[in-house]
Amino acid sequence: MTAKVVVLTGGVGGAKLVLGLAGVMAPADITAIVNTGDDFRHLGLHISPDIDTLLYTLSDKANKAQGWGREGESWAFLDALRSLGGEDWFLLGDGDMALHVLRSHRLAQGDRLSAITADFAKAWGIGLTVLPMSDDPVATCLDTDVGMLEFQRYFVERRCVPAVSRIRFEGSEAAVPAPGVLDAIGEAEAILIAPSNPYLSVDPVLAVPGMREALRDARAPVIAVSPIIGGKAVKGPTAKLMAELGITPDNDAIAAHYAGLLDGLVIDEGDAAPGNGIPVARTDTLMTTITDRRRVAQAALDLARAIGRR
Amino acid sequence: MTAKVVVLTGGVGGAKLVLGLAGVMAPADITAIVNTGDDFRHLGLHISPDIDTLLYTLSDKANKAQGWGREGESWAFLDALRSLGGEDWFLLGDGDMALHVLRSHRLAQGDRLSAITADFAKAWGIGLTVLPMSDDPVATCLDTDVGMLEFQRYFVERRCVPAVSRIRFEGSEAAVPAPGVLDAIGEAEAILIAPSNPYLSVDPVLAVPGMREALRDARAPVIAVSPIIGGKAVKGPTAKLMAELGITPDNDAIAAHYAGLLDGLVIDEGDAAPGNGIPVARTDTLMTTITDRRRVAQAALDLARAIGRR
């Protein structure tokens, strides 16, 4: 398949799908549009967790067991930081610091996040295009039973314990898609939504003005890979969050969430299809091995091809 | 001795004297006034090499064999930075990064370098007072045969190879001594000038407006420890620099350089005293072991006591 494919993605789950995709088609034809709602400043550094997860995963540097950060990471920086009384709730590995320091330095010099990300991907030999959803700041903020929390404070510092009542994407109304985002969507033959958290990882991408319109206007079918397996989200706080928001964690909810955008849904072979009659493909959607990732990616591509251009 | 002592100091050589001093008197009575002319911004981080050398030396974290940085340092950050194409001429160790990141973050929040340095010293259990010469930016710049070089570019990147014709301290005219500096000088019973490079490490301190006047007005005698041993500077580019500036590397030159400020000079036992008749003390001034450092510190204190208040 030489047709171009776009993936809207958050961090870990999305990176697995993108890696699988790069195993079944030409990486040069893949564009990953990555959530930056999790981005935040910490110790004066600009940290882009989802972009970093993509970069580590696609350059084979990711710590697979841990699910974040670099394989073989060391922690001398954090140890020294602790000895100085610095904030240590966000775990910054020694090697990991390079991305944050260089990114922050270049942003301060006026470079765009998209240009910096492209340079990082090129330096690490990543053959596909990794685009932030926007070069403008968007901050995922959660109203919780302990007050408003920025995403990393909720996700890392509080370990998703607070009950969430509302999710907002601050700054999104003023954000514009990063250079290349709308063109990639327009030129794609398939648009995939990764099995990332729909509310925390995909919604920030969809909240960037122009993004929903571009997806609706695209000639390519939009296919989501459901993050639900057996009534549970595979990873992270998706199921807990859905319960708190009063949503049953099933494929009906996923289909409803992406209503108006979606042309097809890849679901786990053990789960019920949504009742709205949307075309589905079934496979084992748990992406443990690289074979799993390729299978799920291929299932999504096959469904897109079966549906064809709109 | 319970009297208060001030040391004007650069990095490595000065840190040895200060450490020796802390072994022969109460650390709480010592104030080190540290050169910040070497400070620079690198990758967006504010780096204070001489302050860091003091902090590492006084908290027993210094890499003694290497002469800079931390003992047992690791280099994952630098390796990752290189892999991203980042500038790697200045060697930033993983643990070392904690000082730079936290300092830069706090400076950006409006904290003063002196307050940050005090907090670092306290966090690491350093019992003496470490003061930057100024909270204001002063940059040691060298006119050389390859053009103007900032200090670290000359010292680290170019390894002191370019021939120096002139040394300037940019920003010094607008700098004021850091809080505590003038009081410490006024209250001291002895003021020592460490055997740091007079031109590159001590002169920036003396270039801060008010510093020379405070030294002249001080009741305490000003004693320098000569950096010359047997017609050579012990460490670094001092002798080469003196030759380039047309100065014979001997104690006459040191005494002449500090003329008008100095009440006594500690010289190596093998070297000739300056011809100007200034009181001298002789000892083996090579500070290899902690015993050496204490001996040199004690010699300086003894000379100060022998000279007494002005």
> Residue B84 is nearest to which of A44, A73, A98, comparing CB atoms?
A98
* Beta strands at A190-193 and A164-170: parallel, antiparallel or unpaired: unpaired
Beginning with the edge strand found earlier in the chain, give each strand of the sheet holding B164-170 in spatial order. Answer: B147-150, B139-144, B164-170
Question: How does DSSP classify residue A300?
Answer: H
Which pLDDT value is given to residue B104? 98
The residues of chain B scoring below 70 in pLDDT are: 1-2, 233-236
Beta-bridged to residue B31, according to DSSP, are B6, B129
User: Would you state the pLDDT for residue A213?
Assistant: 97
Query: What's the one-letter identity of residue B272?
Result: A
The pLDDT value given to residue B198? 95
Say if the Cβ atoms of A84 and B97 lie within 8 Å.
no
What are the residues whose beta carbons fall under 8 Å from the beta carbon of A55, sequence distance 6 or more? A61, A99, A117, A120, A121, A124, A126, A130
Give the residue from A56, A84, A106 with the most B CB atoms within 10 Å of its CB, the best one to mutate.
A84
List of residues 6+ apart from A288 with CB closer than 8 A: none
% of residues, chain B, pLDDT over 70: 98
Q: What is the pLDDT of residue A235?
A: 64
Confidence at residue A66, expressed as pLDDT on a 0 to 100 scale: 85
The angle, 0 to 180 degrees and rounded to 10, between the axes of the packed helices A113-123 and A49-58 is 20
CB contact under 8 A, A101 and B76: no
Bridge partner residues of B177 (DSSP): B134
Strand partners, B140: B169
**The pLDDT of residue A2:** 57
What's residue B92's pLDDT? 97
The arithmetic mean of pLDDT across residues A177-205, rounded, is 97
Q: Where are the domains of chain A?
A: 5-143+170-307
For CA atoms B191, B194, B198, B200, the dihedral sign is negative
Helix (H, G, I), strand (E, B) or coil at A289: coil
What single DSSP character describes residue A169? E
Number of other CB atoms surrounding residue A285 within 10 Å: 26
- Per the CB < 8 Å rule, is A101 touching B44? yes
Q: So what's the pLDDT on residue B235?
A: 64
Quick: pLDDT tens for B128-166.
999 999 999 999 999 999 999 999 999 989 999 999 999
Collapsing DSSP to helix, strand or coil, A306 comes out as helix
Q: Rounded mean pLDDT of chain A?
A: 95
The confidence score (pLDDT) of residue B115 equals 98
Is B169 within 8 Å of B204 (Cβ atoms)? yes
User: How far off is chain B from A4, nearest CA to CA, in Å?
Assistant: 27
Q: Min CA distance, B169 vs chain A (Å)?
A: 25
Of B84, B98, B105, the CB nearest to A80: B98
Q: What are the backbone dihedrals phi and psi of residue A296, each rounded to the nearest 5 degrees, phi first?
A: -65, -40
Q: Which of A40, A42, A64, A65 is nearest to A51 (CA)?
A: A40
Q: Write down the pLDDT at residue B1.
A: 46
Which residues lie across from B193 on neighbouring strands? B8, B224
Determine the Cα–Cα distance for residues A11 and B285; give it in Å rounded to an integer: 59
At A11, is the secondary structure helix, strand, or coil? Answer: coil
Residues in chain A closer than 8 A to B74 (CB atoms): 74, 76, 94
Q: Report how far residue A182's alpha carbon sits from residue B17's, in angstroms, rounded to the nearest whole number.
A: 63
DSSP B62: B
Token code pair at residue A193: 């939504």
- CB contacts of B104 in chain A (<8 Å) are 44
Q: φ, ψ for residue A263 (rounded to 5)?
A: -110, -15
User: Are A44 and B105 in contact (CB < 8 Å)?
Assistant: yes
**Residues from A in contact with B at Cβ < 8 Å:** 43-45, 70, 73-74, 76-81, 83-86, 93-99, 101-102, 104-105, 108, 119-120, 123-124
Structure tokens at B235: 């460490």
Of the candidates A45, A86, A98, the beta carbon closest to that of B86 is on A98
Determine the Cα–Cα distance for residues B101 and B95; give it in Å rounded to an integer: 11
User: Can you give the length of chain B in residues?
Assistant: 310
pLDDT, one tens digit per residue, over A231-284 is 776 666 788 888 899 998 899 999 999 999 999 999 999 999 999 999 999 999
Each residue's pLDDT tens digit, A80-116: 999 999 999 999 999 999 999 999 999 999 999 999 9
Evaluate whether B191 touches B219 at the Cβ level (below 8 Å).
no
**Do A252 and A231 meet the contact criterion of CB atoms below 8 Å apart?**
no
Q: Mention the CATH class of domain A5-143+170-307.
A: alpha beta
Among A43, A94, A119, whose Cβ lies nearest the Cβ of B102? Answer: A43
Give, to the nearest 10 degrees, the angle between helix A96-108 and helix B96-108.
30
Return the closest-CA partner of residue A223 out of A178, A269, A184, A254. Answer: A254
Indicate the length of chain A as a whole number. 310
Tokens of A139: 């901050």
Q: Please give the ipTM for the structure prediction.
A: 0.93
pLDDT of A1 reads 46
* pLDDT recorded at residue B234: 67
- Retrieve residue A4's tokens: 């171009």
Q: Which of B44, B73, B102 is facing A86, going by the closest CB pair? A: B102
Q: Which residues of B touch A84 (CB under 8 A)?
A: 98-99, 102, 119-120, 123-124
Residue A99 structure tokens = 């991305």
Inter-chain contacts counted by CB atoms under 8 A, chains A and B? 102
Q: Tokens representing B79?
A: 């390796």
pLDDT tens digits, A28-54 = 999 999 999 999 999 999 999 999 999
B309 neighbors B303 (Cβ within 8 angstroms): no
Q: Which residues contact B281 (CB under 8 A, 6 or more apart)?
A: B264, B265, B266, B267, B299, B300, B302, B303, B306
Q: Which residue of A has its CA nearest to B87?
A: A102
Check pLDDT > 50 for residue A4.
Answer: yes
- B5-158+166-307, which class in CATH? alpha beta
Tokens representing B199? 């031109």
B67-112: per-residue pLDDT in tens? 889 999 999 999 999 999 999 999 999 999 999 999 999 999 999 9
List the one residue out of A158, A183, A131 whose CA is nearest residue A240: A158
**Shortest CA distance from A103: residue in chain B:** B43
Is the Cβ pair B77, A86 closer than 8 Å? no
Strand order, beta sheet including A139-144:
A147-150, A139-144, A164-170
Interface test mutation site (partner A, options B61, B101, B107, max chain A beta carbons within 10 A)? B101
For the purposes of burial, counting CB atoms within 10 Å of the CB of B59, is it exposed (0-12), middle (13-18) or buried (19 or more)?
middle
Residue A165: CB atoms within 10 A of its CB come to 12
